[in-house]
Every structure is written in structure tokens, then in C-alpha cells.
A and B are shown apart, each in its own frame.
Chain A
Amino acid sequence: KNEVEQSPQNLTAQEGEFITINCSYSVGISALHWLQQHPGGGIVSLFMLSSGKKKHGRLIATINIQEKHSSLHITASHPRDSAVYICAVSGGSNYKLTFGKGTLLTVNP
């Protein structure tokens, strides 16, 4: 079983819809990261959070430490939001991130 599980693997939405991507992890963490990767593109850090909730524009990330679960929400989705969204966790003394396999989001106009 992977230490970081994302769902769904693939998600198709219509422009304007509210999107939720989920991430569950099984290890103790210092922080959880949400990353975005456009097709053929680089990887950009969207959020890093260790508790509560963070908001940036139409994107909202929440984390529940007790339940070892995080969600990434996109409000009023737009075709330019189409990308792979990757959840990753950091913690412990090994200095590295553990990644989920990503969620491919396609937003149709």
C-alpha cells in the first residue's frame, strides 16, 4: 500500500464546476504539499500546510491531521486548471517528500 493515496486518479469537469481532489496518508508528517503539473510542463508548488486551511485565489487546501487526510478544492473551475495535481508529504529525518501518483484533472469549456 502506498504511503500517499490520491483520489480520484482522473477527473473530468465542466467549466464552472466545484472540484475536490482528496489525499490520504499513512505516516506521520511535518507538512503536506499540493503540486500542479501542466501537460508537458514543470512542477509548481501550490500549497504547503501542516494544519487547518489555506486559500489562494480559487484554490483552497485543507488538512485534517487526526484523520490523515487533505483535500484540494477548486472553485469556479476553468480549462486552464487542467493539469495533474500531486499530493506529497514531508516529515521525519529523511529529508524527502513522498508523493502520491497524481490526479489528472480535465476541465472542458
Chain B
Amino acid sequence: NAGVTQTPKFRVLKTGQSMTLLCAQDMNHEYMYWYRQDPGMGLRLIHYSVGEGTTAKGEVPDGYNVSRLKKQNFLLGLESAAPSQTSVYFCASRREANTDTQYFGPGTRLTVL
């Protein structure tokens, strides 16, 4: 099993550009999450999905969109990147219960100039 993978690992964007981050998991997990991690802020939830075809907003959803067309993939889109979106982005997944372990991807380091 590859677990949770993220593509790309690094990216530099100019303000106003768009991009999509891909998260894939091969564990047949129902729940998937996108977080951002900033110094001194800890991990903050951007969007999440509780199953194929569903998405919901987290704590900091503005400026981001997501899609979960296939159970194994969760895409995070930035339509018009801003410097404030410079961060490390982590995807995670888990099975259904609140008592299940959450598995994290390796992260994507995004810089917006």
C-alpha cells in the first residue's frame, strides 16, 4: 500500500495563478481532509469529505475549492493564488469512526509570490 500520496511535493506560483493539488489514498477510506500548516498556527482544516461526491467546509475554506469525484482522490484547487496561501498543505484520510487512525500524506510546500 502506498498509503496517502500528494502531488506535487513543491510548487511556486505567481499571484493570480491557479493550481490543483491531488491527494490519493489506496486504503478505501471514506473520510478525507485537506489541512494547511503555518508557523505558530498548527494544522487548520480547509475542507473535508465524508464520502465520494461529498465535500464540506472546514475552518479556513476561503480561496479554496475541492472535489471528490472518486473515493480514492481528493482534489484541492486554488483558483487565484494569493501570497497568504503560502503554506504547507497536508492531506489525510481515515475510515469512518472517530476512533480510527488518521493517515497523513507527505505534504505539499506551496509558495505564492
A43 interface contact, C-beta 8 A:
yes
- A52–B109 alpha-carbon span in the complex (Å): 37
B99 interface contact, C-beta 8 A:
yes
Given contacts A86-B43, A95-B48, A102-B42, are A31 and B98 in contact (CB under 8 A)? Answer: yes
Q: Does the CB pair B41–A42 fall under 8 Å? A: no
Interface size on A, residues (CB 8 A): 23
B64 interface contact, C-beta 8 A:
no
Contacts of B74 in A (CB 8 A): none
Q: Which residues of A contact B (CB under 8 A)?
A: 30-31, 33, 35, 41-45, 48, 50, 86, 88, 90-92, 95-97, 99-102
CB<8 Å pairs between A and B, sample of 15:
A30-B98, A42-B106, A43-B43, A45-B101, A45-B103, A48-B100, A50-B99, A90-B102, A95-B48, A95-B98, A96-B58, A99-B42, A99-B43, A101-B40, A102-B42
